[in-house]
Amino acid sequence: MWPTLPVATWKETYATLHMLTQIVGKIRLATTPMENHWWNSTLYVTPNGLTTSVMYYNDIPFKIEFDLNKHYLIIEQAFGYIKKIPLQSRPVADYYKDIMSTLESIGISLRIWSTPVEVENGIPFEKDYTHSTYDSDSANKFWRILVQSSRLFTEFRSSFLGKVSPVHFFWGAFDLAVTRFSGRRAPVHPGVPNCPQHVMVEAYSHEVSSCGLWPGGGPFEGPVYYSYSYPEPQGFKDAKVEPAGAYYEVSMGEFILPYENVRNSDSPDRSLLSFLQSTYEAAAEAAKWERTMLERQ
């Protein structure tokens, strides 16, 4: 249940699946009321993959789900309609055409901004013939990592009495995350490359301690767990955190724990939970959160 997944072994599938989740995520964004920090746009881990959960077009309920066990993109509408699009190696542009035409055929007429976000040189979905690889074994391994991480993120989340996000999947950065809030306003976020600034301003309107799982890329050859605080309080980066192997990455302003350290530990559960808890405590102590009011004793 803790498979190895180096980026090099699935980078083409990773990129294609990233674009497909962006299409589906943008559909969710277009059919849901705005929630704080864009929580209405995210996807959720299921026993088979990722789902939008229920969405509404006028009064019509529907959902879209990635089945990463049987490898289908499933569009399901109330009253019995279901369409299964096989997940296989084909261009993102073809998937986009199939998804939008399927929705149109069942009375769901949507327009979405078809340019992906939080990626360099994003290709509009309808023109994307570059990303076209899907390896089912790699996609399934990714789901297995997500589902175990989600299980432990949910356990970690449960001890917080203050405002806390769901455990959810952000299709922009392609990461699974859970975020705790102190209740205090934060300074205006300066923004990040390849993403409209207002998105980040809303996402970080209040002080947070956030942790998550990212599949890797750039300097990271495999998946990593991360934890950060915004705004970062003085002394946070110098905190002693657990387990052995966790470290503060200066270039990112985050604590990092390589997934391989968790996978290969005597107890992956204990290893990951200690990272989540110790990095949260580092943030809460450094920023002087009202911990007795926010935590279940």
Say whether 215 sits in a helix, a strand or coil.
coil
**pLDDT at res. 200:** 96
Q: Most distant CA pair in the chain: distance in Å?
A: 56
Compute the average pLDDT of residues 36-61. Answer: 97
Mean pLDDT of 216-236: 97
Average pLDDT over residues 99-128: 96
CA–CA gap between residue 235 and residue 221 (Å, rounded)? 28
**Confidence band for 80, pLDDT divided at 50, 70 and 90:** confident
The residue-averaged pLDDT of 81-110 equals: 97
Average pLDDT for 232-251: 97
Cα gap 226→60, rounded to integer Å: 38
- Banded pLDDT at 43 (limits 50, 70, 90): very high
pLDDT tens for each residue of 175-221 = 999 999 999 999 999 999 889 999 999 999 999 999 999 999 999 99
Q: pLDDT band at 57, cuts 50/70/90?
A: very high
| Whole-Å CA distances, 115 to 80, 154, 160 | 32, 32, 37
Question: Long-range CB contacts (< 8 A, 24+ apart) of 90-94?
Answer: 90/132, 90/134, 91/128, 91/129, 91/130, 91/131, 91/132, 92/16, 92/19, 92/20, 92/23, 92/123, 92/125, 92/128, 92/129, 92/130, 92/131, 92/132, 93/125, 93/126, 93/127, 93/128, 93/129
pLDDT above 90 for 79: no
pLDDT score recorded for residue 142? 98
CA angle 5, 8, 9 (to 5 degrees): 55
pLDDT per position as a tens digit, 61-76: 999 999 999 999 999 9
Within 10 angstroms of residue 192's Cβ, the number of other Cβ atoms is 15
Q: What is the mean pLDDT of residues 239-264?
A: 97
The count of other CB atoms within 10 Å of the CB of residue 151 is 15
Average pLDDT score over residue span 267-290:
98
Mean pLDDT within 1-21? 97
Tell me what percent of the residues of the chain surpass a pLDDT of 90.
Answer: 97
Which has the closest alpha carbon to 286: 223, 242, 237?
237
Residue 98 binned pLDDT confidence (cut-offs 50, 70, 90) = very high
State pLDDT tens for residues 108-122. Answer: 999 999 999 999 999
The sign of the torsion formed by the CA atoms of 171, 28, 51, 150 equals positive
Instruction: Tell me the mean pLDDT in the region 18-31.
Output: 98
pLDDT, position 25? 98
Residue 158 confidence (pLDDT) above 90: yes
Boundaries of every domain in the chain: 7-127, 149-294
DSSP 96-111: HHHHHHHHHHTT----
